[in-house]
Amino acid sequence: EVDISILSMVPREYFHPKPKVNSSLIRLNRKKSRISYKDKQKYNYFVMKWVNKEYKKIFTKNQFNKSLKHAGIDD
């Protein structure tokens, strides 16, 4: 079971080419962890490596920084 919350809306103007829809930055919180504490650090490391790699394919550095600023997330 997962709790889902919208952290911020991301306007379509932040993307190029501009899509027909707006985007959202969401948070997914699993109510009960399926990963042992021992393996959680390895899992987090894997996810962050994958996310960073995929963002580089989708966004330019400038687009990513604008999105973070819009969401109120500091470096």
Collapsing DSSP to helix, strand or coil, 10 comes out as: strand
Binding site per annotation, positions = 1
Query: How far is Cα 55 from Cα 44, in angstroms, rounded to an integer?
Result: 16
Binding site per annotation, positions for S-adenosyl-L-methionine = 1
Dihedral sign, Cα of residue 12, residue 18, residue 21, residue 27: negative
